[in-house]
Structure 1
Amino acid sequence: MLSIKPYLRSLKLNPDMAIDFDAYPFNIPAVQELEQIDFHPEVTFLVGENGAGKSTLLEAIAVAWGFNAEGGTRNANFSTADAHSDLHRYLRTVKSFKRPRAGYFLRAESFFNFATYEENMDGGQHPSYGDKGLHRQSHGESFLALLQNKFQPDGFYMLDEPEAALSPNRQLTALAIIHKLAQNRCQFIIATHSPILLAYPYARIYLLDQSGLTETRYEDTEHYTTTRHFLNNPAGMLERLFAEENEND
């Protein structure tokens, strides 16, 4: 029997479309060098420095799949800013023969806007997010309420920096939820800076940087090495950092 996952198997830039590689977002190295991404059946991480193109690429994949550019389910119909790129129009995707039954695009930067949209739609009551509305919970609590109540088996989920609202302990809780869902026929694509989330062992990691987009190991990510060096010697690392800053003044 053929595997139903990954729901999204791979993608690449459509070679049949004319592209201006001097224009945004095609001037981003990771987009320019986007020959093909093969997604893990369970979890794929996108990592890189700020401005490397993680959120831009994740947004394009989400819109190409049919999600709202600002997040939510495929049924979400709202817009607070027309700021997303046209990259989704240039992507060629390879999908599974079976579609997922559920899906969600979580964007940390626009989650407040989505929560407002949800409350306006149902008068402030939304039992599928738990016993309290999203705006009646802290930022981190609302993120976990989303993961615990809205994410279901047989789903395709895209998360953009989900750690933004989560403490380290809550990140571990999120990982446990992700793992349970991955074992129940779910696929995740996650853009993150979190060395905790990146430690998930059943995943593929793609690094976006000035050289393009390459697959890498967890232990080779800057997120892991910088965090390890800092925790091994925080005082020494801070002393060197402050000394370098003083030299630059």
Structure 2
Amino acid sequence: MRVPLSDFGRTSGLLAVVVVSGSALATADGPDHFRLRAPAALRAEPRSDAAVVRHLPDGGVCLRNLGCRAAPRSSGEPWCRIEHAGQQGWVEARRLAEAACAQGVPPVIRGRLRGYEDVDYPLHGRAGQTLSVVLRARHPQLYFNVLPPGGEAAMFIGSQTGDRFARTLPADGIYTVRVYLMRAAARRNERGAFTLRLGLVGTPLAARDDAKDARVEGTPYHATALLRCARGDAAPDPPQATREGDLTRLRIGDDERIEVPDALLTGG
């Protein structure tokens, strides 16, 4: 289930409806978005035996309306075509209700998953802002990833790194926080409840003229960074390096540590 949190469509001021088999059915001129009344399958065709594109858990919102039509002869229910996280498909109209798409980032989100369900929370971030995510879940195999704009390669993988994320965003765009159960738990159709805290703070970086050299003001450099380090007794052990997101962590012996952000090495 994808749940856009900001800068998405608004409900139309005029709602055109027709009544089909006792149900209020929105036409293409109806609401911009729906919410789910009950769990539903997003199907490739407007019929109950069509292939499933994906499952939509209970509570789904911000389902974009692409138009509805009367049911085929084989079914007594009308169907609506919707867009969900970039995927399009059909849902029975009786499972949908008109709803505005939520604006802003709620400070606390509570939800639950089952099996192979996942929940996406897209939000529009600006370069220079700090995105923070904290997950609380009792199920030991429930995690979240953070996906960058326009990509499926996660910039943060919770199953490898933990239940907290905080990072300055490198570019404008839609960042996606995806909550999921690990494959072993999903295969057993297990359930898990979670609480997610999202934060997006800070002043976005000012746009620069592409024709100008993007040096840091007052310096000959293109990027600056803060190196966090700790030093103890000298140790003969060779240095060790690990990666965490856009950080390279250097460890020398047991007491000396240095964190080097990619921006220092690549210019941001």
TM-score, length-normalised on structure 1?
0.25
Q: Which has the higher helix share?
A: 1
Q: Which has the higher strand share?
A: 2
Structure with higher RCO (Cα < 8 A, 6+ apart): 1
